[in-house]
Structure 1
Amino acid sequence: MQTALPERDTFLNANGAAIIARLADDVFRSEALGRIGNLEVRLARDPAEIAAAQEVRYRVFYDELGAKQSVAHSLDRRDADRFDAICDHLLVLDMSLPGPAHSRIVGTYRLLRQESAVAAGGFYSEDEFELKKLITRHPGQRFLELGRSCVLPEYRSKRTIEVLWQGIWAYINHYDVGVMAGCASFHGTVPAAHSEALSYLAHHCRTSSAWDVRAIPSRYCSMDLMPAEAINVKSAIAAMPPLIKGYLRIGARIGDGCVIDEDFGTVDVFIVMPVKEISARYVNYYGGEGQRFAA
């Protein structure tokens, strides 16, 4: 009787587990991660869908909001950079529209997992904020960078935001993400134009010391532009972009300082969302859907 070598059994078991995990990942990436009415959210499946997401980004960031165009951007009318190749692209599709899937994309979010960022030399937001220092302080966590969020004007509704969050929750459950982070933006390049909203964030929404992250020194701009007693809370919150208000609702906190992005014409703040600290109300609301679609 032939006895299997322990080393061989270990190799076969590990290889088999890796194959099973890869097959499960392939299934996850091929299916819907959320659905509300005619809107469906899932990951991009091929280069054509990624290109279509880049075209949606171009329409919002360049045509609508006036970001600076390079020659390459102008020629192909796509917002693209070196990070697109290593990111997952979350898509919202209007399934009632005619034509192939890539023509139905009405919103997108770019997702960069820590392991992919490490292999590529870092996260996108490290050009503005000291994210690497934060990650070093939390070696047991798995970080996910959220970025390039945009939705076409006619689809900017609560329903679209909710279906996007269904997709994000399914994604963080599937990949066991511990911390979500990334930049969020105010339009324009003058922090003082957003003094009340930025000051509200500085006084009331800052991260705890354990999760603090600072704008890099060469680009640091203060958010504390008004004394706390001068802030009208209602008008400060009303002046915030919907994305930032959405982050705050689920319990996200804000890093130290803001950064002016001249290329995109924005004032950026940094969002930190440890998954365990997100409001239980939203974990129950979105997490149930995320678990269902991630299963």
Structure 2
Amino acid sequence: MSDLPNPLSSIADSFLNKNSKKTMSERIAPLHKIIKEKITRIQQNSTSKKSGNTVEAPAVQTSKAAPISVSWARHQDEVKEAQRLRYKVFAEEMGANLKPSKEGLDVDIFDSFCDHLIVRDNETLKVIGTYRALPPHQAKQMGCLYSDSEFDLTRLRHLRHKIVEVGRSCVHRDYRSGGVIMALWSGLGQYMKKNQYEVMLGCASVQMGDGGHYAASLAKMLNNEQHLTSIEYRVFPRLALPIEELNSSLEVEPPALIKGYLRLGAKVCGNPAWDPDFNTADFLTMLRLDDIHPRYAKHFLGNN
């Protein structure tokens, strides 16, 4: 792969100021100005108690004898544990350009609106996996989804009241087994079923250490009726991965996360966006609970 040129470097120079260290959030100023104004109004008009419209994250039943346990963060200290794991994985391991943190936490303005799913090692009690979920009523309070910063979601507007946006998923490098991923998905499935949410939306990120050629080839491989949503659910990246300028003819296999989503019954909503801060190609995926493959419904939703 080393002999293949990386056209993203020239694109990055034209899109980003070479001397600027602005994050993606800072670059999308108009959207975030609206978000900050909404947050200010919410903080001024709310108390520390949750409103009557808030739906609590359900407890996740686990066995004390199991090596891992799954639960939803109940207080800020547990949220910080999840944020610390995210920083370790995204910034320290993957080299993402995150906002510097003295505490070693990955924090953004969406966190306070989200429910945070965590997996613990029952022996060490360390948080080893996490997902965050932004439910519809909280997205309405926030004024947008995180995905709005990467994609034009106009065609999904009529689904917003049904959508839970999931993201910031990561697993500690010593625990990247199918068991931890399935535990996270089971927690999300119970959350969706308990609260009667219908659609799960989130970005599946693909690393671009090779300059983006693998991601471009993956996009081409997924560009078919089997894997794409129908046309009325397509989204459009604000900063598209330049597939036509990359080698998209490689024979590739989807990464484990995307392969798992597809097996569950999820669909890809279109071409990927390029996230320069994380150096990833982000594929927006949508899973409608009615479309979950029967083979996985029992584990994911607890169906008999």
Q: TM-score range by the shorter chain?
A: 0.7 to 0.9
- 2:270 matched to 1:262? no
Q: TM-score, normalised by structure 1?
A: 0.77
Which runs of 5 or more residues in structure 2 are unaligned?
1-50
SS of residue paired to 2:302: helix
**Deviation (angstroms), 1:37:** 2.4
Q: TM-score, normalised by structure 2?
A: 0.74
Match of 2:8 in 1: none
- 2:224 matched to 1:197? no
- 2:52 matched to 1:32? no
Q: Confirm or deny: 8 A CA contact 1:135 1:143 kept in the other structure.
A: no
Residue-by-residue CA offset, 1:18-43 (whole Å, 9 max, x unaligned): xxx97x966x64x3345592211110
Which runs of 5 or more residues in structure 1 are unaligned?
1-20, 98-102
Higher helix share: 1
Match of 1:206 in 2: 228
Q: Which amino acid aligns with 1:32?
A: V
Q: Confirm or deny: 8 A CA contact 2:165 2:202 kept in the other structure.
A: yes
Match of 2:288 in 1: 274
Separation (CA, whole Å) in 2 of partners of 1:158 and 1:145: 22
Counterparts in 2 of 1:222 and 1:251: CA distance versus 1, 3 Å: farther
**Matching of residues 129-278 of structure 1 within 5 Å:** 129-131=151-153, 133-138=154-159, 142-188=162-208, 190-203=211-224, 204-216=226-238, 219-221=239-241, 232=251, 236-237=252-253, 240-278=254-292
**Deviation (angstroms), 1:231:** 6.4
Residue-by-residue CA offset, 1:91-149 (whole Å, 9 max, x unaligned): 0011122xxxxx52110001001210111110111011123x2332336x510101000
- 2:115 matched to 1:93? no
Q: Confirm or deny: 8 A CA contact 2:156 2:233 kept in the other structure.
A: no
Q: Which amino acid aligns with 1:112?
A: L
SS of residue paired to 2:241: coil
Q: Confirm or deny: 8 A CA contact 1:201 1:223 kept in the other structure.
A: no
Q: Which amino acid aligns with 2:146?
A: Y
112-121 vs 192-201, which deviates more? 192-201
Equivalenced residues, count: 249
Q: Confirm or deny: 8 A CA contact 2:91 2:98 kept in the other structure.
A: yes
SS of residue paired to 2:69: strand
Q: Confirm or deny: 8 A CA contact 1:222 1:258 kept in the other structure.
A: no
Q: Which amino acid aligns with 1:91?
A: I
Percent identity, aligned pairs only, is 32
Select which of 90, 101, 105 maps to 1:61: 90
Structure whose CA Rg is larger: 1
